[in-house]
Amino acid sequence: MNHVSSDAGLAELKQRVLADLAKISYATGNWCIPASHNDASVLDVAIIGAGQGGLATAFGLRRRGISNVRIFEKADRGGEGPWVTFARMLTLRTPKHVTGPDLGIPSLTPQSWYEARYGAEAWKNLDKISRQDWQSYLDWVRDTLDLPVTNDKKLVDIDWQDGLLCLTFKQSDGSVVQQWARKVVLATGIEGGGAWHVPDFISQAVNSSRYAHTCQTIDFEKLRGKRIGVLGAGASAFDNAATALEYGAASVDLCLRRAKIPTVNPYRWMENAGFLSYFADLPDLTRWRFMRKIYDLNQPPPQDTFWRCRKHANFAFHPGTPWLSVKEQGDEVVVETPHGEMVFDFLIIGTGFVIDLTKRPEMRKIAERVQLWRDKFAAPAGEENTLLGSHPYLGKHFQFLPRNADDDLAPMMAAIHNFTFAAMPSMGLSGASISGMRFGVERLTKAIGRDLFVQDGDKQLQSLLDYNTDELISLEPPC
């Protein structure tokens, strides 16, 4: 059987996407009233981050007739998101039939892209999508939809002036540029609500050349023949352990605090339309109890990731083995555990991230003033959770809320929408999760559109009053 080449297949699919969108283009023309500030242009929405969440949000806004939008990305083209930078899994952890950036357009789905590139039989035989293919798919979505991305723009400050957000970006050459916007969407991924975390007892005791967090660039070739210690029980810890083994590490010992490796993946339960659509509408206590369970279960390594490690005879995992302290001893790193000392040449830290808005430079003007879950909600006795309490307590539009109702920066907070992992206790799966993206984008873009239209209600009314385009142009029948 002859197959269309991948280039030809993708070119044909692009035309199908454009044709499909043309068929459903009713009422998607731009309706926002143009604005300016001191002769400078004002975006209706600035999106920070050109990963999957940022791209999907821009597309979702366009589908709602909001096109005065731009995506700003700190990385150069090709370095957006984790998939071909620091992600080290072989495939996505989500099922291959997951949808997201397509927003329900069949020709724009990952399946349509994969079949156009590799053929329908290849899709049928596929288990999970590789992370490289997922990045290629996202690049194709960006190009096919001609989404407005500006690279090499790192957001370093958000200010509030004259009822508008003033965004300051730093470029790789050290120069800064500014952009005015009515709304900002933070689509900055997993670490967007804080920072990647290395415990102080490691960072303060060991030279940075002897350890790396899983989010960092690691030269695994230099780990060949070395004894590697990995701290963490999550999927990324196992991904990095497997990568070290595949590069020829002498041994890899993975240590976790838990008494056993997590085995139940709550994400599979969450992948239903009820939870994905309506979780944010639940009472606080119910949302808290949902999230306590979900965070307690954690996300285990997929079965294939676990076997990727276990097939190596020089791999070992150690449940119930937290690291109590570390120290350098000559050319070695000595780790103290409840079961005695372990000696390594290099450490890989898979301890995830912390939710702490004060660690985000761009948030410094409001970080201390944003309402957190611990400010809003008092957990019943025995149901406390410090981690959940550190997350921002968001409004129904993903917007930040002020800790004090009379805060003069409350309007600024309402104009900033948090579409990062930190939104999870308030909104459920959304921007930083492929599984929840479609549902999160629908809620987010509808809310932003509502805000913009209501704010401009009088201007929209004047637009109607000024409308004077004749539809009836002749009172005489045609000859």
User: pLDDT higher for 43 or 265?
Assistant: 43
Burial 261-292 (b: 16+ CB within 10 A, else e): bbeebbbeebbeeebbbebbeeeeeebbebbb
Query: Residue 6 has what pLDDT?
Result: 83
- The pLDDT tens digits of the residues spanning 273-282 come to 999 999 999 9
Q: Is residue 144 part of a domain?
A: yes
Give how many domains the chain has, as a whole number: 2
Q: Is residue 95 part of a domain?
A: yes
35 & 124 share domain: yes
% the chain with pLDDT above 70? 99
14 & 60 share domain: yes
Which residue shows structure tokens 């992600």? Answer: 87
Query: Residue 1 has what pLDDT?
Result: 37
164 & 207 share domain: no
- The pLDDT tens digits of the residues spanning 132-153 come to 999 999 999 999 999 999 999 9
- The pLDDT tens digits of the residues spanning 399-440 come to 999 999 999 999 999 999 999 999 999 999 987 788 899 999
* 113 Cβ contact partners less than 8 Å away, ≥ 6 residues apart: 10, 13, 137, 140, 141
Q: Is residue 359 part of a domain?
A: yes
Q: Is residue 473 part of a domain?
A: no
- pLDDT category of residue 5 using cuts at 50, 70 and 90: low
- The pLDDT tens digits of the residues spanning 345-390 come to 999 999 999 999 999 999 999 999 999 999 999 999 999 999 999 9
345 & 256 share domain: yes
Question: In the 3-class helix/strand/coil scheme, how is the chain assigned residue by residue?
Answer: CCCCCHHHHHHHHHHHHHHHHHHCCCCCCCCCCCCEECCEEEEEEEEECCCHHHHHHHHHHHHCCCCCEEEECCCCCCCCCCCCCCCCCCECCCCCCCCCCCCCCHHHCHHHHHHHHHCHHHHHHCCCCEHHHHHHHHHHHHHHHCCCEECCCEEEEEEEECCEEEEEEECCCCCEEEEEEEEEEECCCHHHHEEECCCHHHHCCCCHHHEEECCCCCCHHHHCCCEEEEECCCHHHHHHHHHHHHCCCCEEEEECCCCCCCCCCHHHHHCCHHHHHHHHHCCHHHHHHHHHHHHHHCCCCCHHHHHHHHCCCCEEEECCCCCCEEEEECCEEEEEECCEEEEECEEEECCCEEECHHHCHHHCCCHHHECEHHHHCCCCCCCCCHHHHCCECCCCCCECCECCCCCCCHHHHHCEEECCHHHHHHHCCCCCCCCCHHHHHHHHHHHHHHHHHHHCHHHHHHHHHHCCCCCCCCCCCCC
Query: Residue 433 has what pLDDT?
Result: 85
388 & 420 share domain: yes
Q: For residue 344, give its domain range.
A: 198-263+300-351
Quote the radius of gyration of the chain (alpha carbons, Å): 25
Q: Is residue 80 part of a domain?
A: yes
- The pLDDT tens digits of the residues spanning 86-101 come to 999 999 988 899 888 9
315 & 445 share domain: no
Q: Is residue 454 part of a domain?
A: yes
pLDDT exceeds 90 at position 32? yes
Query: Residue 100 has what pLDDT?
Result: 87
Least confident among 2-6, 216-220, 233-237, 292-296: 2-6
Query: Residue 3 has what pLDDT?
Result: 47
Q: Is residue 293 part of a domain?
A: no
Query: Residue 2 has what pLDDT?
Result: 41
CATH code of residue 229: 3.50.50.60
Average pLDDT, the chain: 95
250 & 374 share domain: no
Structure tokens at 25: 């283009």
Last residue of one domain, picked from the residues 287, 318, 351: 351
101 & 82 share domain: yes
Q: Is residue 409 part of a domain?
A: yes
Q: pTM of the entire structure?
A: 0.95
Strand pairing category for 332-337 and 340-344? antiparallel
59 & 157 share domain: yes
Last residue of one domain, picked from the residues 351, 382, 412: 351
57 & 128 share domain: yes
384 & 320 share domain: no
Structure tokens at 334: 């000595």
11 & 159 share domain: yes
Interval 466-473 mean pLDDT? 92
Which residue shows structure tokens 């984008």? Answer: 441
Query: Residue 27 has what pLDDT?
Result: 95
